[in-house]
Structure 1
Amino acid sequence: LATAMLDRLLHHSIIFNLKGESYQLREKRIQQEKKKDQ
């Protein structure tokens, strides 16, 4: 049922493929590096 609903919603959608590191992953990596330096 969920698959059918998603199919209806996304039938005419446009997919954007974004490359690069996300802000959340970048912030997490920076925090981990700070902990290692301490």
Structure 2
Amino acid sequence: AEMMGDSVMTTALLDRLLHHARIFNMDGESYRIKNQKKEV
């Protein structure tokens, strides 16, 4: 809400965007984190 400046407008925007969205729950380590650990 701070980025948009208005919490009501932010809530409405997120509601529109996520109304028909599919949510995936992904477990496990991300490739980015795995690659960062290799580089260090």
TM bucket (normalised to shorter chain) is 0.5 to 0.7
**What are the ranges of 5 or more consecutive residues in structure 1 without an aligned counterpart?**
33-38
**What are the ranges of 5 or more consecutive residues in structure 2 without an aligned counterpart?**
1-8
What's the RMSD between the two structures over aligned residues? 0.9
Q: TM-score, normalised by structure 2?
A: 0.65
Report which of the two has the higher share of helix: 1
Q: TM-score, normalised by structure 1?
A: 0.68
Tell me which structure has the larger Cα radius of gyration.
1
Deviating 4+ runs (over 4 angstroms) = none
Number of residues of Structure 1 aligned to a counterpart in Structure 2: 32
